[in-house]
Structure 1
Amino acid sequence: MRFNPRARLDSSQVQVRRGGGGGGRGLPIPIPSSTGGRGGLGGVVLLILIFVIVQAVNGGGGGAGGAGGAAPDDSQVQGLDCTSGADANKTEQCALVADVNNIQAFWAGELPQQADVAYSKSLAVFFSRSTQTGCGGATAQVGPFYCPTDKTVYLDTTFFKDMLQGDLGAKGGPFSEAYVLAHEYGHHVQDLLGTMGKVRTQKGPQSDTVRLELQADCYAGMWSKYATTVEDANGEVYILDLTQDDIARALDAAAAVGDDRIQQKSGGRVNPESWTHGSASARMYWFKTGLSQGTLDACDTFSARDLHL
């Protein structure tokens, strides 16, 4: 995976927060994990429930909206010196900025074209230890998640090394990290499309939460199909090339966060009735579906009879 040195990066789409800001509105985010450590990808499942509580507490106010988020103390926010694809080729943090720019530019063009829905940007917040969010206080024990209240993607900066590659044993690599971000931005797309309103059943291999997560994997595959064609404001592509190894690493990451894999890693028995994200094989299948088909219709997991579990 190589970024185009001439591509211009927009660091305003990403915010870096130093630790210590947790607490939010006093609503904790206890995302469960069979590893005994952090939560898995797609913590949006419980966040949907917390979102309903927040709406009730605030009289149905709807949160911050747009690309905003729960406001941290100014002393916690760090600036980013990422201005070009050359920077993205040098540091992991700038590579993640390039990924966010690429993903959002893709959906800004694709969502109106395929669904006649305007895309609104979602801020990505990288934090350490803890931070405030529109869905409550997030800590390092929470995996990557999307908060529908403030329309923001949150990511603990230690996730890739400590959990994805550490606890879960994924191979890692830049494009596996891009897959994680693309998955979470898939939840933002679902939010814009109103798909989250379809969630009724919370657990089980055919549950709505599993369908929601598999669809986000499919959306990540959609972006991957076109990732090397997405351009910045000056017409420069962000990514020059993706190799088969890059795609393989993204699929490996998708498999690593399958419910059955997590249960096996924890030493417990595989219990499909407790699943909230889908099996390793299903997560790979839907990523590959998005990668090969590249359409929202192909990613309609809610109408699919066979989730390929």
Structure 2
Amino acid sequence: MTFNEGMQIDPNRASSGGGPGTGGKLALGGGAGGLILLVLGLLMGGDPGSLLGQLNGTENAQVQPGTSGTPEHCKTSADANKYVDCRVVLTAQSLDSVWGVELPKQTGKRYVQPKLVLFSGATSTGCGNATSAVGPFYCPADRTAYFDTTFFQELVDRFGASGGPLAQEYVVAHEIGHHIQNQLGDIGRAQRDPRGPESGAVRTELQADCYAGIWAHFADKQPAPGSNQPFLKPLSESDIGDALSAASAVGDDRIQRAAQGRVNPEAWTHGSSDQRQKWFLTGYRTGDVKACDTYSAPDLGNPPGLR
């Protein structure tokens, strides 16, 4: 059980069934190879519009029009503790609560909620069309975080991550971390320097991991709106281990080794497994946005909050 009892899921927080388009066809490669290749370039914050056409082979996929509203079976925290789609929505509400307080307090910027889309199969986005092979991602153009929740089982089966709730919630928090970057004007740095172990892309992804850690720092302490208790039950070492397992599973070095049997740091876009874990812990231990300044860090493997 992750969420405290009595939390209500907002029926209007998410859209489901597809993206905000009118439908249509798209072509891209599928299967496990396609998933791994796309994760390398896009998982957690890439631009699907620039990457989907790079896979060999094609298959038609129907883009379903979106429907407004959270899935009907998602009512309370009990549903979020049971169903992964409900967990994504209530995690987003927890993130809204934390960042609604901390972003203005720490940066002077008002937090604006990102949109949230749960889709199945394929979806249309402001960054281009996408399918389930893409994994979760944030599109800056329409300020929307997209999730096909079947990915979370892929995270376990193909990438060896823990299946614990905080592993899934970390992914949601990372995507909303990109929204924080978008609000603060930093997310474009990834495109100006898109590849390499010290690149802007890697620094952008590691900062989103750090912002996910900030959420975890406050999520089990800050009372939810209209309640005297936080969204999350107190986080245990095992919970944090679940989040670190997910962060490690999507490190560039681990994915490269699994996909091609070797590691090439010059092709990194997201950072190593070790870096991703360390920057999440920096945010978790400090709760401080300033501690997440990856762009100024001289050593990405030794974040300031862990020295």
TM-score (norm 1): 0.83
Paired residues of 2:16 and 2:66 also in contact (CA < 8 A): no
TM-fit CA distance, 1:47: 5.0
The amino acid of 2:9's aligned partner reads L
CA distance in 2, matches of 1:33, 1:114: 43
CA-to-aligned-CA distance 1:101-133 (integer Å, 9 cap, x gap): 101111111100000001111121111110111
> Of 95, 101, 106, which aligns to 1:103?
95
TM-score (norm 2): 0.84
Structure 1 residue aligned with 2:246: 253
Structure 1 residue aligned with 2:263: 270
Paired residues of 1:35 and 1:262 also in contact (CA < 8 A): no
Structure 1 residue aligned with 2:140: 148
Paired residues of 1:22 and 1:137 also in contact (CA < 8 A): no
Write out aligned runs for 1:70-109 (5 A). Answer: 73=65, 79-109=71-101
TM-fit CA distance, 1:34: 9.8
CA distance in 2, matches of 1:271, 1:229: 40
CA distance in 2, matches of 1:192, 1:47: 20
Tell whether 2:218 aligns with 1:218: no
TM-fit CA distance, 1:92: 2.4
TM-fit CA distance, 1:243: 1.6
TM-fit CA distance, 1:254: 0.2
Structure 2 residue aligned with 1:2: 2
Paired residues of 1:9 and 1:85 also in contact (CA < 8 A): yes
Change (3 A) 1:99 1:74: closer
TM-fit CA distance, 1:87: 2.4
Question: Which 5+ residue runs of structure 2 have no aligned equivalent?
Answer: 52-62, 303-307
CA distance in 2, matches of 1:204, 1:135: 23
Paired residues of 1:102 and 1:230 also in contact (CA < 8 A): no
The amino acid of 2:47's aligned partner reads L
TM-fit CA distance, 1:13: 1.5
TM-fit CA distance, 1:220: 0.4
> Of 157, 163, 169, which aligns to 1:172?
163
Structure 2 residue aligned with 1:62: none
Structure 2 residue aligned with 1:279: 272
TM-fit CA distance, 1:42: 3.9
Write out aligned runs for 1:119-138 (5 A). Answer: 119-138=111-130
Tell whether 2:285 aligns with 1:292: yes
The amino acid of 1:129's aligned partner reads G
Structure number with the bigger relative contact order (C-alpha 8 A, sep ≥ 6) is 1
Aligned length: 286
TM-fit CA distance, 1:245: 0.8
Structure 2 residue aligned with 1:64: none
Question: Which 5+ residue runs of structure 1 have no aligned equivalent?
Answer: 51-70
CA distance in 2, matches of 1:169, 1:46: 25
Change (3 A) 1:133 1:77: farther
Structure 2 residue aligned with 1:233: 225
Write out aligned runs for 1:10-49 (5 A). Answer: 10-17=10-17, 36-38=34-36, 39-40=38-39, 42-46=43-47
CA-to-aligned-CA distance 1:161-182 (integer Å, 9 cap, x gap): 12x1111111221110000000
Q: Secondary structure at the match of 2:47?
A: helix
Paired residues of 1:29 and 1:136 also in contact (CA < 8 A): no
